[in-house]
Structure 1
Amino acid sequence: MNSSSGSLASVVRQVRALLWTARVELSGAFRYRASFVSDIVVYTVILTLFMMSGSGHSLSEKYGVADYRSLLFAGYIAWTFANSALVSSVNNTSAELSRGTFYRKLNACCPLPLIQLGELLSTVLMNCIVAFAVAIIGGIAWDLRLYVSGVSVGAIAMCSLGMYGMGLLLNGATIKYKRVGSLLFLFQLGLLFVTDTIPSDSIVLSVTRLVPLTACNDLIRLSMIGADFVEPAVRLCASSLAWLALGYIVFRFLLFRAKKDGNLLHY
């Protein structure tokens, strides 16, 4: 009985720690509202380029509907969440390493993975605001509609976990090798063109099927047209959990190597 009570108390403490971390990150973001504005501007500019260039026509043929812009926009919104999840831990770790405060996070009373999950939660919540703002602009400019359903929300949530796992690989590289900003930018940009957010070549998709965002885009679009989406749903769950596990293992290994090599506090 005492053991069960102790385990329950431990779980409650960890949940509180996760929520506290998310609250702190959110309050910090709201104090520096320029980041919100810059994200909205950047995402709107990119969307404008795609709308003006007529990108996404092949989505009409693939999914059998005329409104390719809505399909493109659904994938684009999913990309913004995947992008945020990918960079959430990397940006925080890079900033703390440059300030020399990362050791505090390592020595915190809360486990590091729990702190990072709190950061992910705050990042996803902040991106909801950004995505809503972009959707309003898209609706006014091109009559786009933000597709929201239980399926799309669940798909984006699972995709965010998987992309966060991919981000842990870069996070580990940040700790071990320090500056990886250029590599991170290439990842962010590449996701647009290889995950069928913008229609991708079938040969490319045969490889990137293992990326959570690819399955997420397919799942959301199939649900939009009322088609069966079991296969991409299974693929999304499997790939997200696999990337999350792989990312965590590699991150812990690179963190261990950085400690062993004595370069953890150097930037």
Structure 2
Amino acid sequence: MFPEALRFSIRMPINDAIQDLVVNYGSIFKSISGVILQTLLAVEWLFRGLPWWIIIPAFMILAWRSSRTISFSIVVGILLFVVGMLGLWDLTMQTLSLMVIASIASMIIGIPIGILIAKSRLVRSVTLPVLDVMQTMPSFVYLIPAMMLFGLGKVPAILATIVYAVPPLIRLTDLGIRQVDKEVVEAAMAFGGSPAQILLGVQLPLAGPTIMAGLNQTIMMALSMVVVASMIGARGLGEQVLNGIQTLDVGKGLEGGIGIVIIAIVLDRITQGFGKFRTDETNHG
């Protein structure tokens, strides 16, 4: 056995630090939670309030815009219709609302950090190990501090989802910018482009396909957190699966699982289509 005298536990210092945050800054966390919750409820109200015969065609149009193929648009419409037939429509809209908020927040956080990493070698050397930890840490671990700081419900579920899902977007934004041809950047500098103009007009457009691939991975990882987040009150399709597990209702769990798979297929193919479209546009440009 390992010597007892050499053992050291980080449990108590971390617990004390979290407790201090709750006691001293609880009002701040409550305010942040209120803003996030109101935003989520507004998006959820929109998704759940719109009739299915508007949402399905909207997704079909989005699918056509991403793929330029009628067949894919029809398949998307059929898959979403199946979700409704299984009685999962409302739960699916709740899941989509959570994913939209988590994905937008991941973009707001991930793309700027990815740009910063690409521009600074020092920041990159510090950030990459942190991303490694975020990606390898079991997703259940994120739920514990989120619950302690924000309580049960949708807000800690969103925050835990963001922490789990944002690393791929940061990494691929960094990779996309660093892969931009240096000669193109030098040519833009020769024409008098400022760093901001080069970033916005040259590097980000050329890195667009890689960034879209990062967004695709972020959405898929956010969706993989649906069942886990349901354990702290996130609701949606994950709750259906969780209830099936708790009651040993195989059919109920399978229905929820089918709904999650359908949403994953639809969002994956649509984001991949937009990424491919950006790649073709860049190559022709």
Whether the TM-score (by the shorter chain) exceeds 0.5 is: no
TM-score normalised to structure 2 length: 0.37
Bigger Rg, which one = 2
TM-score normalised to structure 1 length: 0.39
Larger helix proportion of the pair? 2
Higher-RCO chain (CA-CA 8 Å, sequence separation at least 6): 1
